[in-house]
Amino acid sequence: MSRKNGRLVAFAAVLAVFAGFILARYLQLALAHDDRTYASEEIEGERGEILDRNGRVLAMDIPKYNVSIWRPNTRPEVFKAEIAELSKILGVPADEITAKYMDGTQNYFYLGKRYSADQVQPIKDGQKAGRFKGVQIDEISGRLYPEGELGSHLIGFTGEGNKGLDGIEIKYDEDLSPKPRKARVTPEYSTISTQKMPKGNTVTLTIDANLQFMLEEIARKAQVENKADNVIGLAMDVQSGEILAYVAEPGFNLNNYMDFDTKTRQDLISLSSYEPGSVFKIFSMASILDTGGITPDTMFDCDGAYRKTLPNGEKIVIKDLGVYGKQNMAGILAHSSNAGVGYASDRISEIDLYERLKSFGFGSKTGIGLSGESAGSLRPPEKWSARSKPTIAIGQEVMVTALQMITAASAVANGGILMKPVTVKQIETADGEIVYSHEPQEVRRVVSQETAKQMLTALETVSSMEGTGWRAKVKDLRMGVKTGTAQMIDPKTRAYSDTDYIASTLAVFPIEAPKIALYIVIIKPKGASYLGGQIAAPVLREATEAVLSCIDIERGKSPLITHGNAISLPKAKEAVIGTLMPDLTGYPKQALLPLLERKDISVTIAGEGYVKSQSPEPGTAIVQGMAIKLILDE
**Residue spans per domain, the chain:** 1-33, 50-144, 209-550, 570-634
Mean pLDDT of 68-95: 91
User: What is the model's pTM?
Assistant: 0.78
The whole-number pLDDT of residue 429 equals 95
Q: How many CB atoms lie within 10 A of CB 135?
A: 24
Quote the CA–CA distance of 406 and 413 in Å, as a whole number.
Answer: 10
Residue 188: the pLDDT is 54
Is residue 571 predicted with pLDDT exceeding 50?
no
Whole-number pLDDT of residue 241? 97
User: What's the pLDDT tens digit per position in 445-476?
Assistant: 999 999 999 999 999 999 988 899 999 999 88
As a whole number of angstroms, the distance between CA 424 and CA 207 comes to 8
At residue 226, does pLDDT exceed 50?
A: yes
Please give the pLDDT value at position 146: 93
DSSP per-residue string spanning 41-100: -----BPPPEE-TTS-EEEEEEEEEEEEEEGGG--HHHHHHHHHHHHHHHT--HHHHHHH
| pLDDT given at position 5 | 53
Q: Is the pLDDT of residue 29 over 80?
A: no
Query: How many helices, marked H, and strands, marked E, lie in the chain?
Result: 19, 23
Q: Give the model's pLDDT for residue 85.
A: 92
- Over residues 5-22, the mean pLDDT reads 49
Report the phi/psi class of residue 78: left, alpha or beta, with left for phi > 0 and alpha for psi in -120 to 50. Answer: alpha
Mean pLDDT of 360-367: 96
Question: Cα(199)–Cα(488) distance, rounded to whole angstroms?
Answer: 47
d(CA 307, CA 384): 18
How many degrees, rounded to 5, is the angle at CA 232 between CA 269 and CA 526?
125
Output the pLDDT for position 595: 85
pLDDT of 611 reads 81
- pLDDT (tens digit, 9 = 90+) per residue, 503-522? 999 999 999 999 999 999 99
CATH of domain 570-634: 3.30.10.20
Helix (H, G, I), strand (E, B) or coil at 403: helix
Sequence-distant (6+) residues with CB within 8 A of 437 are 425, 426
Per the prediction, the chain carries an average pLDDT of: 87
Question: How confident is the model over 468-492, as a mean pLDDT?
Answer: 93
Please give the distance of CA 71 from its chain centroid, rounded to a whole number: 42
Domain 50-144: which topology? Penicillin-binding protein 2a (Domain 2) (3.90.1310)
| Separation between Cα atoms, residue 178 and residue 175, nearest integer Å | 8
**CATH topology for the 209-550 domain:** Beta-lactamase (3.40.710)
Q: How far apart are CA 569 and CA 74, in angstroms?
A: 39
What is the Cα–Cα distance from 591 to 475, expressed in whole angstroms?
44
The pLDDT assigned to 36 comes to 43
First CA to last CA across the chain, in angstroms?
89
Please determine, for residue 167, whether its predicted confidence score (pLDDT) is greater than 70.
yes
Phi-psi map region of 115: left, alpha, beta (phi>0 left; psi -120 to 50 alpha): beta
Pairwise CA distance, residues 534 & 504, whole Å: 10
Region of residue 403 (left: phi > 0; alpha: psi -120 to 50; beta: else) = alpha
Mean pLDDT of all residues in 232-251:
98
Q: How many other C-beta atoms can be found within 10 angstroms of the C-beta atom of residue 63?
A: 16
Distance CA 496, CA 498 (A): 7
Residue 290's alpha-carbon distances to 82, 295, 360, 479, 557, in angstroms, are 78, 9, 13, 22, 37
Higher pLDDT, 378 or 71: 378
